[in-house]
Structure 1
Amino acid sequence: MSITTAAASDGDLEFVVAGPGVELAAHRSGAGPAVLLTPGLGMPSSTWDLCGLPQSLVEAGFQVVRYSARGMAPSSAPPAPYTVADLAGDAAAVLGHYQIDHATIVGYSMGCYTAQMLLRSRPALVGALVLFAGLQPSPVGAMVGEMELGLIERYGEVPREVLVFEQLLTTLHSSMLQDPSTVRAWQQVLSAGYEVGWSGPEGFRGQLTASQEWISAGEPTPESLAAIDVPTLVLAFEHDLFFPPALCAAAARQIPSALFAQIEDAGHGGIFTGPGGSVEMIVEFCRRNIRK
């Protein structure tokens, strides 16, 4: 595994070669028991800062590792398609680079798929799971994925206007969508993110195919949920169209000894529009489940 390092504003940004044509931008902060943050589809690693989770974990005595998944800048975008197993292998490579052999894995949205697959493929690496706004996908998520892949197949891309509109409807909850100034502000933010987030079109198509493959396979299955044998915290946002709290709560009940909590007054983008008490709950969960 070859490594190069570049300066970043919050420390050293390290580029980990996880496989042929796969170079991942990763960063570690703090010291202590390890927490790995696995990102959602199209999620820059800097998004975690918007809810304050990395800093809160560092202040609580943890070392926090985060990275941009394959396809997201500044990581590389190898040719599509990708699989969730590919993404889990990348997460394992990042842990291996930092010589971490045991960590709490915090997944957000599609990062929950990565976290579950990492537990299946490399169970010794996973001490506990936080499945944040991403345990049980809804039919809405499946329909959106099918639409996006269909547009790519027909036209070679998903038009920016389509993506921004879709993200507005799912990121914000209903009362935010009824406020014109809020909608205009988030339209600008999401439009800007469209320009700088992806390493290239292969990245978007690759992550999207990984997500759709997971959903099409009926994941997570009841058998896979029952097999989760590490402490697990499941969090869901009240107005999440992609991962509704009722579906996530039902799936959580199939995980032995899982804890479930609903975060009020937020849609799928609640990690930055209204994280509520989620950061405090994650930090406390990590504290309670430090390996002795």
Structure 2
Amino acid sequence: MPDNQRVVLPTGVGLSATLTGSGDGPFVLLNPGMSMSQTSWELTELIAPLVDAGFRVLSYTARGVTGSDAPPPPYDIPSMADDAAGLLDHFDIDRAILVGYSMGCYITQALLERRPGTALGVVMWAGLGSSEISNFVNEMELGLFERYGELPKEVSAFETMLTTLDRASLQDQATVRGWRDLLVHRPSSWASPDGHHGQLAASQSWVLAGEPTAARLAAIDVPTLVMAYSEDLFFPPATSRAAAALIPDAQFVEIDGFAHGGFMLDPSHTAPGHIVDFCRRVRDGAR
């Protein structure tokens, strides 16, 4: 993996970014989910297969997460989309396939509007059609920030475990103990409480504004792949499928047996396989 670069955008915000691959193949931009670092993208095992297939991949760490700057809140999704657009400009990328994971789907949707003509295709992975549980968790976490100035580590660990593991794993006592110990004692991925609060507020404001609207989804005019995990509490298949139906000719894929964090636990890397196949079809001109 090439070394990360620190890219200072015209706004003065510095982001950690990596451009992987060479040659003249199409670009793929990876828009990260909440708290997602470069290491998280490596866990998906998506980048290497894309590069092997001839693509050039731009991944980055969004504002607020360790490795990038955490300017004071407020953050919002359009500003985070502008961050992504600034990275495209820095690397002289005019067009790319846009891949969003979780909150990265919000960034992708905003980027489509703010940079018309940029997208060759769109992948929305575990991030289209948020649930009432997702909205309630965001509301709860923002309330804890207002009360304590940060999110207690045990609360964050519990939420991550509950939304990452499948039902069978959550009922296995040894698995739960192991994940609890791992999550409670691991270093925080946040650059500061400001970064954590900023991303949470950006996500919540997007959802409270009624996004994505039916009109926004209907306006997507490039090949689109929507993927949902069967046990995802935040973006369940039913709401993802309904939202995908509003996008002209979108392909919908449900991945069985995993929850929201399925990219970390799927030994066959099902989602990356679908994404690489989709990118090949876009490159070859198929809708």
TM-score range, shorter chain: over 0.9
CA deviation after TM superposition for structure 1 residue 224, in Å: 0.8
Quick check: 1:57 aligned with 2:50? yes
Quick check: 1:90 aligned with 2:86? no
The match for 1:216 is: 208
- Can you give the 5+ residue segments of structure 1 that lack an aligned partner in the other structure? 1-9
The match for 1:287 is: 280
Quick check: 1:77 aligned with 2:70? yes
User: What secondary structure sits across from 2:3 in the alignment?
Assistant: strand
The one-letter code of the counterpart of 2:67 is: P
Q: Distance in 2 between matches of 1:101 and 1:201?
A: 34
CA deviation after TM superposition for structure 1 residue 291, in Å: 7.0
Question: What is the TM-score when the length of structure 1 is the normalising length?
Answer: 0.93
Deviations 1:84-130 (A, max 9, x none): 00110011111111111000011000000000100011022211100
Percent identity over the alignment is 50
- Can you give the 5+ residue segments of structure 2 that lack an aligned partner in the other structure? none
Deviations 1:62-91 (A, max 9, x none): 111100000011100001110000110011
User: What secondary structure sits across from 1:218 in the alignment?
Assistant: coil
Q: 2:113 aligns with which of 120, 124, 146?
A: 120
Q: 2:248 aligns with which of 247, 256, 259?
A: 256
Asked if the contact 1:21–1:76 (Cα under 8 Å) also holds between the matched residues in 2, the reply is no
Q: Distance in 2 between matches of 1:186 and 1:254?
A: 38
Q: Distance in 1 between matches of 2:38 and 2:183?
A: 16
Question: What is the TM-score when the length of structure 2 is the normalising length?
Answer: 0.95
Quick check: 1:207 aligned with 2:199? yes
Deviations 1:173-193 (A, max 9, x none): 111111122222222332344
The match for 2:5 is: 14
Quick check: 1:236 aligned with 2:225? no
Asked if the contact 1:127–1:291 (Cα under 8 Å) also holds between the matched residues in 2, the reply is no
Q: What CA RMSD, in Å, does the superposition of the two structures yield over aligned residues?
A: 1.3
Q: Distance in 2 between matches of 1:112 and 1:235?
A: 11
Cα distance, 1:278–1:71 mapped onto 2, change above 3 Å: same
The match for 1:6 is: none
User: What secondary structure sits across from 1:82 in the alignment?
Assistant: coil
Q: Distance in 2 between matches of 1:185 and 1:121?
A: 43
The match for 1:4 is: none
Q: Distance in 1 between matches of 2:134 and 2:74?
A: 19
Quick check: 1:183 aligned with 2:171? no
The alignment covers a number of residue pairs equal to: 282
CA deviation after TM superposition for structure 1 residue 154, in Å: 1.2
- Trace 1:268-279 onto structure 2 (pairs within 5 A): 268-274=260-266, 276-279=269-272
Q: 2:38 aligns with which of 21, 42, 45?
A: 45
CA deviation after TM superposition for structure 1 residue 196, in Å: 3.5
Cα distance, 1:291–1:94 mapped onto 2, change above 3 Å: farther
Quick check: 1:29 aligned with 2:9? no
The one-letter code of the counterpart of 1:11 is: P
CA deviation after TM superposition for structure 1 residue 279, in Å: 1.2
The one-letter code of the counterpart of 1:183 is: V
